[in-house]
Amino acid sequence: MRETKYVPEGISDAFAEGDRGVGDDAARGERPASGSEKGPGGPGSESGQGLPRLGWVGTLRWTWRQLTSMRVALMLLMLLAVAAVPGSVLPQRNQDPAAVLTYLADHPTAGEWLDRAGFFEVYTSPWFSAIYLLLFVSLVGCILPRSAAHWRNLRDRPPRVPSRFSRFPAQGTAITDATPDEAMAAVAAHLRGRPWLPAFRVDVRGHELSAERGYLRETGNLVFHLALVGLLVSVATGQMLHYRGQAIVTEGRGFANAVVDYDTFENGSWFEPSTLTPFAMTLDSFDSEFETSDVAAFGQARDFTAHVTITEPSGETRPETVKVNHPLVVDGAKIYLQGNGFAPELTVTDAAGEVAFSQRVPFLPEDVNYTSRGVVKVPDVSPGLDQIGLVGYFLPTAMIEADGSARSGFPLPTDPLLILEVYRGDLGLDEGVPQNVYRLDTATLTPSVEDTGERVKVLLRPGDTVELPDGLGTVSLGADIPRYVALDLRHDPSLAFVLTFALAALGGLTVSLFTPRRRVWARAQVADGATVVEVAGLARGDDAGLDGEVERALGAVPGSTRSTTTPRTEG
């Protein structure tokens, strides 16, 4: 006969880590000691006149327990996320020092206090580092004791069989003609399962059986937290060892892998310039494809390919290509194609007829048809002459509207036109303050205007030379319009570790969330010439599958002839 009884859950706390006598006291009806009862040194004892003082050792122990609690770890993790917000809102000195100087100039009072507090160097500031280290210590201090306790639990025997099964949330009884040894062997074989199924750790003591499963739940939880520690270490190591450089390269020219050859360069505190492999890269050509057959998608980009030549330190060269989302890997660093555009070659002579400027000027695209804006700063003029500033647009396929405005109608240079406005005065380049090469501060400059009051616009087509207004000199546009590419070189030795620990954290969290923790006890005894098998189950938390586990254990008993079932009673 199989009889299943259910009672309200009331002893699930017996699954607390380290309590190996799970359910024993509750099953025996023993009353645990209460802190309110009188005892030596307790609040109600004759010798205890008040609460004991913690002292230095007690205070340190209490502080350590608070720091290594999961609650504090979560608070520190949230605090770290909040502390990182200023780093994404305010300019950072190691990424854009010019923007920091501009912010300080625009906000002299607030900027000074923010600078003192390290808000322009958030990720290397003492307060951010303190939060980071406290989180690391908290996680380590929480994980190590739990790992040791979990290891001990894995080596211990399952908890002994309680004396009474009546208070467990799921229990059942079966009557069989088999002997108690045969019944226990059958239940044990069922609970041990098969290699591909979740199995119980089973301990048979005579005619009593203890079984436990779900240790993967705690294992997954520990793996998750260990992976978080690994992520912290990996990210910190990557921030200290990484480097990143950006360079704009025009066709036929190149750059060397040296700090001074990059337009912008940022690196971690442990980075050494000598660790850079001295390779060189030359941009041979740049191919771009745009849609021309589909009217609805006319002018949309289809493909960008930069054909480059890599020169190794040994002098050996090899051709390579760089495409969008297909970076080139050189010496462990990835070179990404971040952007492209046109870099017309401009030559400016001053009023004395001397060449004051001659180089390629990258113009930055502002729309899908490559209407591009650029700036030319000419500070090296003859003594006594005004410095010259030119700002305007390059139109690969110029389209002049009826109102006099102009725009580009197609990304490729089928009818290129350069439109410039002219300014003169002090460009401020001799003051030692970094400036954005793609911006011209016209507040202190004098624009060239026509008699009507409108600003003079200089129009140039490839090969043209035009005189600048106000006798400032001339400007020439080269016959060819070379392309440029914006390359981004990144090297972070921690990326593989970050990915590994992230996947480990995801896997550990998944195992922890979906692995049930269950304990099953069974007892066989002879009564009235038959063998009575009792089975009880206990789960940590809510577990809808616990009843089925008990039913399957009872079903494994061989030769049971009669069975009755009593449904669970709620309340």
Determine contact, residues 258/265, Cβ cutoff 8 Å. Answer: no
DSSP SS3 for 35: coil
| Dist CA 190 CA 552 (whole Å) | 8
Count of other CB atoms within 10 angstroms of residue 271: 17
CATH of domain 3-23+168-213+516-562: 3.30.310
Cβ(168)–Cβ(5) below 8 Å: no
CA 466 remoteness from chain centre: 53
Q: Where are the domains of the chain?
A: 3-23+168-213+516-562, 55-153, 240-342+486-501, 345-480
Residue 25's pLDDT is 42
Q: What is the DSSP string of 88-114?
A: HHS--TTT-HHHHHHHHHH-HHHHHHH
Instruction: Render pLDDT for 89-135 as a digit per residue (tens, 0 to 9).
Output: 999 887 777 788 888 988 989 999 999 999 999 988 899 989 989 98
- Model confidence over 215-269: pLDDT tens digits? 888 899 899 989 988 998 998 898 888 899 999 999 999 999 999 999 888 888 8
Least confident of 157-166, 308-317, 346-355: 157-166
Token pair of 408 as six digits: 């580009």
Q: 26-61 as b/e, with b when 16 or more CB fall inside 10 Å?
A: bbeeeeeeeeeeeeeeeeeeeeeeeeeeeeeeeeee
Q: Are 102 and 434 in contact (CB under 8 A)?
A: no
- The residue-averaged pLDDT of 163-184 equals 89
What is the band of 9 on the pLDDT scale with cuts at 50, 70, 90?
Answer: very low
Across 200-217, average pLDDT: 90
| pTM listed for this prediction | 0.67
Residue 19 has pLDDT above 60, yes or no: no
According to the model, what pLDDT value does residue 560 have?
Answer: 65
Above pLDDT 70, what percent of the chain?
87
Mean local confidence (pLDDT), 428-452: 82
Place of tokens 């041990």: 192
Q: What percent of the chain has pLDDT over 90?
A: 46
Q: What's the rounded Cα separation, in Å, for the pair 2 and 550?
A: 11
What DSSP letter does each residue of 304-356 carry, written as one string?
Answer: EEEEEEEE-TTS-EEEEEEETTBPEEETTEEEEEEEEEE--EEEEE-TTS-EE
pLDDT at 433 (0 to 100) = 66
Which range, of 99-108, 287-296, 334-343, 427-436, averages the lowest pLDDT?
427-436
Which residues fall within 8 angstroms of residue 481, CB to CB, at 6 or more apart?
342, 343, 344, 396, 413, 416, 462
Handedness of CA 429, 430, 432, 433 (dihedral sign): negative
Query: In this structure, is the dihedral angle defined by the CA atoms of residues 180, 12, 516 and 214, taken in order, positive or negative?
Result: negative
- The rounded mean pLDDT for the chain is 84
CA gap 105, 143 in Å, rounded: 48
Residue 450 reports pLDDT greater than 90 = no
